[in-house]
Amino acid sequence: MTKRIGEVILSFTNISLSFGGVNALTRIGFDVKEHEIRAIIGPNGAGKSSMLNVINGVYHPQQGEIVFRGKARRGMNTYESAKSGIARTFQNIALFKGMSVLDNIMTGRNLKMRSNFLLDALYWGPAQREEIAHRKKAEEIIDFLEIQHIRKTPVGRLPYGLQKRVELGRALAAEPAILLLDEPMAGMNVEEKQDMCRFILDVNDQLGTTIVLIEHDMGVVMDISDRVVVLDYGKKIADGTPDEVRANQDVIDAYLGVAH
């Protein structure tokens, strides 16, 4: 089983972000290569989520440079980020509660849809054809994530673990180049975690999606990531393969510090 890790597609240099004087991120720099699983770990409050928010344009760093596919960007907003192929999930599930699983996943396809509201209103010809073409894609994702049985269930009624899976599905529906996962395994039991790991690996493996994930649980991350960045108090303290990171004294200190 060999992985085809490619070139760097996303890199950060000197990223600093602060909120009203509080530094969330201080001069962070690392890169993400195509097709790899890149983890960002760190104790609570280390700035992991901020980092993710910087990547998909929710936050705009005060300093630093982001290069995505060879193009420098800083002020990219969330829409542009989505358009350029970055999809994400959220730490606290951000599904559309009033909609069914299928509809949630269909929303993920919105950027690929061309039809306008007038055609939608007629639900005829190109609009219907498009809707059905996308439905098929959505169904493939449903199949992939093994959530056939809840296809038409409103997401609000699903248990937590399944909601997380649906959220992953919604992100996948966008066929992203980079998938950002914000604590995909938070709050799950062992079995659900295993399932989620399997899905993440499958996504990476079968769709070739580059994955950047944040996780609190170090064990899981080390098993599935290719490279790991460790943040603590908004600063990068380590970067490397799981084995390298595991051996890093700063990391051990940081985690032990949290454990106390």
Partner 1 sequence: MQFFFEVLIAGLLSGVMYSLVALGYVLIYKASGVFNFAQGAMVFFAALTAVGLHDLGLSLWVAVPLTMAVMVVLGLVTERIVLRPLVAQPEITLFMATIGLSFFIEGLAQAIWGANVRGLDLGIDDVPLEWLLDHANMAISQFDLIAAAIAAAMVAALAIFFSKTKIGRALRAVADDHQAALSVGIPLHHVWGVVWAVAGFVALVSGLLWGARNGVQFSLTFLALKALPVLILGGFTSVPGAIVGGLIIGASEKLAEVFLGPYVGGGIDGWFPYVLALLFLLVRPEGLFGEKIIRRI
Partner 2 sequence: MFYREAGQFKATYEEDSRIFPIRQDRIVFAFILAFAFLGVPLLASLGIVSNYTFTAILTPFLIFSLAALGLNILTGYAGQLSLGTAAFMAVGAFASYNFMLRIEGMPILVAFMLGGLCAAAVGIVFGLPSLRIRGFYLAAATLATQFFIVWCLTKVGWFTNYSSSGVISAQKIVILGYTFQSSMSKYLFVLAVVSVMALLAKNMVRSNIGRSWMAIRDMDMAAEVIGFRPIRTKLMAFAVSSFYCGVAGALFAYAYLGTVEPEGFNLDLSFRILFMVIIGGAGSILGSFLGAAFIVLLPIYLNVLLNFTEAATGIDLPSGLSSSVELMVFGSLIIFFLIVEPHGLARLWQIGKEKLRLWPFPH
Partner 3 sequence: MSVANAAPEVAGLDTFPRLLLHHGRTQGARPATREKDLGIWQTWNWSQVANEVRALACGLAELGFRRGDNLAVIGDNRPRLYWAMAAAQCLGGVAVPLYQDAVAAEMAFVLQDAEIGFAIVEDQEQVDKMLEIKSQCPALGHILYDDPRGLRHYTQAGLQSLEEVMAMGRSHDHNQPEFIDGEISRGEPGDIAVMLYTSGTTGKPKGVCQTHSSFITAAKSGCEFDRLGPADSILSYLPMAWVGDHLFSYAQAMVAGFTINCPESGDTVMTDLREIGPTYYFAPPRVFENLLTTVMIRMEDAGRIKRRMFDYFMAVARRCGAEVLDGRPGVAAIDRFLYAAGDLLVYGPLRNVLGMSRIRVAYTAGAAIGPDLFRFYRSIGVNLKQLYGSTETCAAVCLQPDGEIKFDSVGKPAPGVEVRIAENGEVLVKGKMLLKEYYKRPADTAEAIDAEGYFHTGDAGFFDEDGHLKIIDRAKDVGKTAGGAMFAPNYIENKLKFFSFIKEAVAFGHGREMVCAFINIDMGAVGNWAERRSISYSGYTDLAQKKPVYELIRECIEKANAELAQDPMLCPSQVHRFLILHKELDPDDDELTRTRKVRRAFVAEKYAVLIEALYSDNDSQFIETQVKFEDGRSGMVSADLAIMDARVFPAQAQRKAA
Look up residue 123 and give its DSSP letter.
Answer: T
Does residue 190 touch partner 2 according to CB under 8 A? no
Q: Which is nearer to partner 2, 28 or 174 (CB)?
A: 174
Does residue 58 touch partner 1 according to CB under 8 A? yes
Q: Which is nearer to partner 3, 102 or 196 (CB)?
A: 102
The CA-CA-CA angle for residues 52, 54, 57, to 5°, reads 110
- State in angstroms the smallest separation of the CB of 39 from partner 2: 20
> Closest by alpha carbon to 185, among 173, 201, 174, 172?
201
Window 121-140: contact mask with partner 2 (x via CB under 8 A): xxx---xx--xx--xx----
Contact pick of 16, 31, 67, 90 for partner 1 (by CB under 8 A): 90
Contact pick of 80, 202, 217, 253 for partner 3 (by CB under 8 A): 202
Does residue 19 touch partner 2 according to CB under 8 A? no
Q: Are 96 and 103 in contact (CB under 8 A)?
A: yes
Does residue 4 touch partner 3 according to CB under 8 A? no
Does residue 151 touch partner 3 according to CB under 8 A? yes
> Closest by alpha carbon to 210, among 193, 227, 234?
227
Does residue 190 touch partner 3 according to CB under 8 A? no
Does residue 120 touch partner 2 according to CB under 8 A? yes
Pairing of strands 235-240, 71-73: unpaired
Distance of CA 186 to the CA centre of its chain: 13
The CA-CA-CA angle for residues 192, 148, 79, to 5°, reads 80
Provide CB contacts within 8 A for 46, sequence distance 6+. Answer: 231, 232, 233, 234, 254
Distance of CA 233 to the CA centre of its chain: 21
Angle, to 10 degrees, between the axis of helix 160-173 and the axis of helix 126-144?
130
Distance of CA 25 to the CA centre of its chain: 19
Tell me which of partner 3, partner 2, partner 1, none is bound by residue 225, counting a contact when its beta carbon lies within the kind-specific cut-off of 5 to 8 angstroms.
none
Contact pick of 23, 115, 153, 248 for partner 2 (by CB under 8 A): 115
Which residue ranges make up the site for partner 2 (CB under 8 A)? 56, 58, 78-79, 81-83, 87-88, 90, 94-99, 103, 106-108, 110-111, 113, 115, 117, 120-123, 127-128, 131-132, 135-136, 170-171, 174
Which residue ranges make up the site for partner 3 (CB under 8 A)? 1-2, 102, 135-136, 139-140, 142-144, 148-149, 151, 202, 205-206
